Amino acid sequence: LLVAEPLRYALALRPEWVALEEVPAVAPLFEHTARALVAVGYSTWVGVLNAADFGLAQTRRRVFLLASRTRPAVPPDPTHADGGRPADLFGPGRAPWTTMRDVLGCPPGLVVTRGNHTTGGSHFPTTGPSWAVTGRARSWMLKVGNRPGATRRHLDQPAPTLHLGRALNDVSWCDDGGSPVRRLAVEEAAVLQGFARDYPWAGSRTKQFEQIGNAVPPPLASAVLAALVGPVAALPAGVAA
């Protein structure tokens, strides 16, 4: 029932603009809410946005309701696309989707592992994820779910939608053979959700994952609000929109 509360607030307070986000299954309720807002003078838009189309390394799909009393409510223009898209007569180009490798990587450099020896050892570039010093990690996949058909994505793809509530223990890295390696770390989840790696989450590990999973990814939030109310001012590093 809490999903319906924003309509009551909006009808009572008549704010200049409204922005709501939920799982796609809530779309029919958002459409009903939009009709009620149109009846009292709002311009509205309801639709599903994929966060990967706005630079997030995650194909997270969520339904949005945008409403404004002062300007047309329109969705943001995507900046990215699966495989990219060149500019043409109909508009600017779109960059390829951001991958997990892109956001979980290290600055260029070289790591040398020598053990107890002073010469020799193995050389691994740090242009990939920080755990790439294990060599085989370049073929890791992120698995979301515990069923045989659970979604798996390679590092050179965006992550699937991260379910970080009760299903937290089912989000893990596995090797190319499907064998579990380790669970997803809080810092990795934060980065994949569009936050800084050192964002100051609070509470237990479980609570931190809940905060990450429940947040609207900052890159997508900024794009949505810029389309609705104008450009969003730059935020300090690690601060969510």
Residues 80, 113 within the same domain: no
Return the closest-CA partner of residue 153 out of 163, 161, 143: 143
Average pLDDT over all residues of the chain: 83
State percent of the chain over pLDDT 70.
Answer: 79
* Domains held by the chain: number: 2
Most confident region among 13-27, 75-89, 159-173, 226-240 by mean pLDDT: 13-27
Mean pLDDT of 175-195: 88
Q: Looking at the structure, do residues 69 and 122 belong to the same domain, yes or no?
A: no
Residues 203 and 224 in one domain: no
Model confidence at 148, pLDDT cuts 50, 70, 90, reads: low
Looking at the domain assignment, is residue 162 inside a domain? yes
CATH number where 80 lies: 3.40.50.150
One domain, residues 222 and 209: no
Domain extent for 51: 2-91+216-229
User: Are 62 and 106 in the same domain?
Assistant: no
Confidence of residue 107 (pLDDT cuts 50, 70, 90): very low
Mean pLDDT of 108-126: 46
Q: Are residue 71 and residue 133 in the same domain, yes or no?
A: no
Contacts of 145 (CB under 8 A, 6+ apart): 151, 163, 167, 170
122 near 112, Cβ under 8 Å?
yes
Give the per-residue pLDDT at 116. Answer: 46
Return the SS3 of 180. Answer: strand
Tell me the whole-structure pTM to 2 decimals.
0.80
User: pLDDT at residue 141 above 90?
Assistant: no
| pLDDT (tens digit per residue) in 66-102 | 999 999 999 999 999 999 988 887 778 899 999 999 9
Does the structure show a pLDDT above 90 at 237? no
Length of the chain in residues, anyone? Answer: 241
The whole-number pLDDT of residue 129 equals 45
**Is the CB of residue 141 less than 8 Å from the CB of residue 173?**
yes
The answer, yes or no, to whether residue 130 has pLDDT greater than 50, is no
The Cα–Cα gap between 199 and 238 comes to 5
Q: Are residues 116 and 191 in the same domain?
A: yes
Instruction: Read off the pLDDT band of 163 (50, 70, 90).
Output: confident
* 68 and 165 inside one domain: no
Give residue 133's pLDDT: 31
Say which residue the tokens 């570039």 belong to: 125
Q: Which helix (H) or strand (E) holds 152?
A: strand 151-154
The per-residue pLDDT for 106 is 44
